[in-house]
Structure 1
Amino acid sequence: PVYADGGTAGTGAATTPSGAVRVSPEKQQVIGLKVERVDRISPRNMVRFLGRVAADERRVYFINATIDGWITKTYSNSTGSLVRKNEVLATFYSPEFLSAGQALLFALSSMDRVQATGNESPAQKDQLQQFNINLKQYRDSLKNLGMGDVQIEEMIRTRRFMENVNITSPADGFIISRKVSEGQRFDKGTELYQIADLRRVWILVDTYGNESQYFHPGQIVPVRCQGKMFTARVSKVLPQFDPATRTLKVRLEADNPGFALRPDMFVDVEFPVRMPTGIIVPADAVLDSGLKKTVFVERGNGYFEPRAVETGNWFDDRVEIVRGLAPGERIVVSGNFLLDSESRMRAALE
């Protein structure tokens, strides 16, 4: 390379900016110097995010004790077990069921004595109607105390009082919390089980800065987990701010065939986006000293000018220039390290 002031009077070297260097065509070829034209483009960039699987809170069921009592029997289910709707999880006893259950059986016995034949008198019809009203009240009382519809129907069918009350699953799902043991006493309001229906799950994606702009309500995005691909839809719910991580959490909703996605698993979310129009250059063209970022601009006649620039978004091996370059200029994209060292020497001598 030849310093800028080493040219002849007719080369215009005296007007070149401080630190500019001149490289002959032969030397450019030897050092592998390459230049490219700068243009404004709208690039497509692949964006990648880390997501965490979470249960859909609309599909999480809490089983709480509605009265005081104690557990009389437990079954083999445990945290992580798949259970079916109305499957018995445990049984308990409470003396409060005694009066409600006996009232139901008494109402059934009274109805059995006054069977509808179609030839009832008006008084008998009124009596049957009152029995039905009472029966519904007693059913509701048992249900409010915590007995399920299946067990109530069994009492009505068999006309037998059931001392132990079944705790049943309200839906198909996985047990995510189990807080019962045989002989355990509990108070009204105690949480006994949590059941999560995982046929559909949430994926919470952490985004930083303005990255949430890449997600739009209803947008379909691909999700990869353990080599399997899934599709998820961006929720209409606004991203939620997490003060602990200082991120916005974007919610995706995804079907979960085979329950492959489990709560707290991590997934990769990756999809292409069209970026705003701007000046995009190869990342290798920008020299970052830590204090400033520099590119070398071709000035003609083998001269190259170092110019400070301001960068914006990074796209893999390319970077956005938000200040310092104009469309149509030509910059060095390869071999600029040698130019940088020569430019520093030139500036030091001036």
Structure 2
Amino acid sequence: MRAPVELQETSPGQYRGKFNLSMRGEWPLTIRFDAPGGKAVRLQFDLATDRAEMPIAAGGEPAGGAAGPGKMESGMPRYRAGELEVAIDIDPGTARVGDNTLLLELRGTDGQLLAGAQVQAHAEMPAMGAMPAMRAPVDLAETSPGQFRGDFNLSMRGEWPLTVTISHPQYGEKRLQFDLATDREGLAIAAGAAPVDAAGAQMAEGGADVITIDNRRRQMIGVQTGEVEKRHLVKPIRTVGRVTFDERLLSKVVLKYDAFVGDLKADYVGTQVEKGQVLFTIYSPELLAAQQEYLDSLKRARGRGTETRDDLLRAARQRLALWDMMPQEIRALEERGWPQEYIPIYAPRSGTLIKLNIADGSAARAGQTLLVVADLSRVWVEAEVFEADLDLVSAGTPADITLPYLPGREYEAQVEYVYPYLEGKSRTGRIRLTLDNPKGELKPEMYAEVSLQSDLGQRLSVPEQAIIVAGDSRVVFVDLGGGRLRPTRIETGRSAGDYVEVLAGLKAGDRVVTSGNFLIAAETRLKTGVQQW
């Protein structure tokens, strides 16, 4: 969108005009005029709604000078890359389509011109769509010790980032990047060095890994920052499980002798039974003989008057008790005086019949499970947790459980037990939670969604969106202030919601970029600062 200014000369050398901004935001202002002598001048200013200042962006500088890169005797802006001082400029001052000249001076720690350096430079327009990248090499030559000059040709208008590589036996290799564009005055350092003021002091923290993005471009990219600090992290662990029986509330009905089923009263799976209810009757020749043996022993003991101290009688009674005859049944046997052919078997607990392995008249072998009764007033939920998260889960870890067939219902629970082994094929560990089920809504074999909340405590962390994954590396942009950013490799730990634990590379109080990371990387070509990118 363009907002033209209707300028009128109100008096010699003074102009005034109105313009309309249709929305809030950045509106870079461009002014063109012919200076005395016919030379065309183009000035650019940073203009934005809700901002009082309108700083010069290109084409000139504030009257009386302004804070910025210092000037050498040659008048060129200068920068410091490690211990090396670089002065660099272009001629003409605003790059144009066609031939341009790059001027460069090198000085060492003593401030003297530095001989013996190898310098290479090129400008390159990035690829755009189907158009490949275009390179404009600079034909640099050392005109005198420490001073270089070279021509290069820009074939079209646009952005031509300039890369300068300096090699010296004493100072090593330095790689600097500058923002260069046609119709924009001068060069702006992007990475690899920091500006130096007129007194020779470095204006801001810098180095080969520091990049610079001006406020206008930061706002266009949408850069936002967040603070590195210790936060209370709670890691959610989501998994699936299934409802199953509480094994502590299961009862099996098993005989200790061979028998035959008489009248089966609990005759289908799912029937509800009460503790003490007759499930079925059985006939057993062994049990019948044991009853008769007890009655004979009882008769002899009474005849001798030794009922309370007769060992054979006591052994016969113990045998009946071990075969699960109840005390009232033994008393009834004594009163009746003859053995009962079909003995009732009672329910050991109240619950639901979940297994039935017999029918009327079927044979029942000793040790065979005939029936299984389950109390479903309390159930287990067993879930699988990935091996990587298993150390975060322990007895007492809180959890929320939902079931797909009960939308809107959520059950609160705690991990009751972590099984001490892994499932070999899935490489997961099994955990157990217990839920009350008074209404019987939770049925075994139902699927459940389990959300665990693992408390990690206070951990140094950054917002997750601040981290760029670069192969095996994790990279963040540390905001140094003044538009300067340093790509920094960090070591990360656990992630918890929107935050990631930082193990190394950052300290509390640092500010990191949380929005616009990838655009910054593309804008500044991060490979200059981070080799692994």
Q: Same fold (TM over 0.5)?
A: yes
Query: Which of 255, 278, 282 is the aligned partner of 1:65?
Result: 255
**8 Å Cα contact 2:212-2:484 kept in structure 1:** yes
- Aligned residue number for residue 113 of structure 2: none
Of 334-343 and 258-267, deviating more is 258-267
Displacement of 1:108 in angstroms is: 7.3
Query: Which of 43, 48, 52 is the aligned partner of 2:233?
Result: 43
What SS does the corresponding residue of 1:194 show, helix, strand or coil?
Answer: strand
Q: Percent identity?
A: 27
Cα distance in 2 for residues equivalent to 1:223 and 1:158: 57
Aligned partner letter, 1:329 = D
Higher helix proportion (structure 1 or 2): 1
Is 1:94 the counterpart of 2:275? The answer is no
Displacement of 1:148 in angstroms is: 4.5
Cα gap change, 1:42 to 1:336, in 2 (>3 Å): same
- The superposition leaves residues 59-78 of structure 1 with CA deviations (integer Å, 9 ceiling, x where unpaired) of 32222221122223323543
Displacement of 1:241 in angstroms is: 1.4
Cα gap change, 1:220 to 1:313, in 2 (>3 Å): closer
- Aligned residue number for residue 456 of structure 2: 275
- Aligned residue number for residue 186 of structure 1: 364
Cα distance in 2 for residues equivalent to 1:307 and 1:62: 64
When normalised by structure 1's length, the TM-score is: 0.77
Aligned partner letter, 1:85 = K
Aligned partner letter, 2:308 = Q
Displacement of 1:139 in angstroms is: 4.2
Kindly report which structure 2 residues correspond to 1:231-310, keeping only aligned pairs within 5 A, or say none: 231-232=412-413, 234-235=415-416, 239-244=419-424, 245-270=426-451, 272-310=453-491
Aligned partner letter, 1:320 = E
Displacement of 1:150 in angstroms is: 5.7
Aligned partner letter, 1:83 = V
Cα gap change, 1:35 to 1:288, in 2 (>3 Å): same
- Aligned residue number for residue 55 of structure 1: 245
- The superposition leaves residues 139-182 of structure 1 with CA deviations (integer Å, 9 ceiling, x where unpaired) of 43333334445654554565564312223221112233221123
- The superposition leaves residues 214-253 of structure 1 with CA deviations (integer Å, 9 ceiling, x where unpaired) of 4345x76554443544454554x66421343434434444
What SS does the corresponding residue of 1:325 show, helix, strand or coil?
Answer: coil
Of 30-39 and 160-169, deviating more is 160-169
Displacement of 1:334 in angstroms is: 0.8
Aligned partner letter, 1:241 = Y
What SS does the corresponding residue of 1:284 show, helix, strand or coil?
Answer: helix
Aligned partner letter, 1:5 = F
**8 Å Cα contact 1:151-1:166 kept in structure 2:** no
Displacement of 1:331 in angstroms is: 0.9
What SS does the corresponding residue of 2:520 show, helix, strand or coil?
Answer: helix
How large is the Cα RMSD of the aligned pairs? 3.7
Cα distance in 2 for residues equivalent to 1:16 and 1:190: 81
Cα distance in 1 for residues equivalent to 2:221 and 2:520: 10
Cα distance in 2 for residues equivalent to 1:129 and 1:346: 99
Cα distance in 2 for residues equivalent to 1:233 and 1:346: 48
**8 Å Cα contact 2:292-2:338 kept in structure 1:** no
Cα gap change, 1:197 to 1:289, in 2 (>3 Å): same
Aligned residues: 334
- Aligned residue number for residue 196 of structure 2: 10
Cα gap change, 1:343 to 1:149, in 2 (>3 Å): farther
Is 1:129 the counterpart of 2:308? The answer is yes
- Aligned residue number for residue 165 of structure 1: 343
Is 1:33 the counterpart of 2:223? The answer is yes
- Aligned residue number for residue 320 of structure 1: 501
**8 Å Cα contact 1:35-1:332 kept in structure 2:** yes
Q: Give ranges in structure 1 of 5+ residues lacking alignment.
A: 115-122
Cα distance in 2 for residues equivalent to 1:345 and 1:295: 11
What SS does the corresponding residue of 2:525 show, helix, strand or coil?
Answer: helix
Aligned partner letter, 1:284 = Q
**8 Å Cα contact 1:148-1:168 kept in structure 2:** no
Query: Which of 193, 198, 201 is the aligned partner of 2:376?
Result: 198
Of 280-289 and 206-215, deviating more is 206-215
**8 Å Cα contact 1:222-1:231 kept in structure 2:** yes
Aligned partner letter, 1:10 = V
- Aligned residue number for residue 119 of structure 1: none
Q: Name which one, 1 or 2, has greater alpha-carbon Rg.
A: 2
Aligned partner letter, 2:518 = F
Displacement of 1:52 in angstroms is: 3.9
Aligned partner letter, 2:262 = T
Cα distance in 2 for residues equivalent to 1:107 and 1:233: 57
**8 Å Cα contact 2:277-2:347 kept in structure 1:** yes
- The superposition leaves residues 26-62 of structure 1 with CA deviations (integer Å, 9 ceiling, x where unpaired) of 2222222101221122334444454444433333222
**8 Å Cα contact 1:53-1:266 kept in structure 2:** yes
Query: Which of 209, 213, 217 is the aligned partner of 2:388?
Result: 209
Cα distance in 2 for residues equivalent to 1:5 and 1:249: 57
**8 Å Cα contact 1:147-1:166 kept in structure 2:** no
Cα distance in 2 for residues equivalent to 1:151 and 1:291: 76
When normalised by structure 2's length, the TM-score is: 0.53
Q: Give ranges in structure 2 of 5+ residues lacking alignment.
A: 1-158, 163-176, 180-187, 190-194
Of 4-13 and 52-61, deviating more is 4-13
- Aligned residue number for residue 117 of structure 1: none
- The superposition leaves residues 285-308 of structure 1 with CA deviations (integer Å, 9 ceiling, x where unpaired) of 112244432211223321222222
Cα gap change, 1:327 to 1:130, in 2 (>3 Å): closer
Cα distance in 2 for residues equivalent to 1:17 and 1:153: 99
**8 Å Cα contact 2:394-2:418 kept in structure 1:** no
**8 Å Cα contact 2:395-2:414 kept in structure 1:** no
Cα gap change, 1:33 to 1:180, in 2 (>3 Å): same
